[in-house]
């Protein structure tokens, strides 16, 4: 096995696997990492409310929130791997998530079930706006694979928001 000089090793590490400029890699990675932090924050909040919801509609809400959390968790790996595919690095820790997240945590011991659903509705709307902003960056970079993913996730987030809103009526 051949050993590499320091410069060769650095060149290998900084090689962009896709055909994006270093600036495009930074922009795409930045917007996707912030999105990933938001998805993790929303996933955990959704699970928190899933675990703690009570009331006459417990079973329906409990199951709906579990489905929504699973949907959110399912896209985390795809987002992170997309960052890596374009040549960037992704988040490394819960602390890193906390620095980037725009969806706020809810650490209250008790939350009214309707308030839970309203808060998750608002958070999913924030996520939709973040997805749209990310789409602008990826479209500008002609990153059509990521753009297509973002569009599908927008539809999912809009559907979650619709279900949450409808459940509070």
Does residue 164 carry a pLDDT above 60? yes
pLDDT beyond 60 at 12: no
Instruction: Give 7's pLDDT tier (boundaries 50, 70, 90).
Output: low
| 88-95 average pLDDT score | 96
Domain 34-167 classification at class level: mainly alpha
Which tens digits make up the pLDDT trace of 96-117? 999 999 999 999 999 999 999 9
Separation of alpha carbons 43 and 91, rounded Å: 16
pLDDT at 42: 98
Domain ranges of the chain: 34-167
Assign 4 a pLDDT band (cuts: 50, 70, 90): very low
pLDDT at 11 over 70: no
- Helix 113-140 vs helix 144-167: angle between axes, to the nearest 10 degrees? 160
Residue 118 — very low, low, confident or very high, per pLDDT cuts 50/70/90? Answer: very high
**Mean pLDDT on 126-147:** 97
State yes or no: pLDDT of 58 exceeds 50: yes
């Amino acid at each position: 096995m051949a050993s590499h000089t320091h410069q060769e090793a650095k060149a290998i590490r900084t090689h962009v696997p896709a055909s994006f400029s270093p600036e495009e890699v930074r922009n795409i990675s930045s917007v996707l990492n912030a999105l990933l932090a938001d998805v993790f924050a929303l996933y955990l909040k959704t699970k928190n409310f899933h675990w703690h919801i009570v009331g006459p509609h417990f079973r329906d809400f409990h199951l709906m929130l579990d489905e929504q959390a699973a949907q959110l968790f399912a896209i985390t790996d795809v987002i992170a791997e997309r960052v890596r595919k374009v040549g960037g690095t992704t988040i490394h820790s819960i602390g890193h998530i906390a620095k980037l997240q725009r969806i706020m945590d809810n650490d209250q011991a008790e939350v009214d079930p309707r308030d839970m659903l309203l808060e998750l509705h608002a958070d999913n709307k924030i996520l939709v706006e973040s997805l749209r902003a990310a789409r602008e960056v990826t479209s500008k970079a002609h990153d059509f694979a990521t753009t297509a993913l973002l569009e599908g996730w927008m539809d999912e987030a809009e559907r979650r928001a619709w279900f949450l809103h409808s459940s509070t009526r």
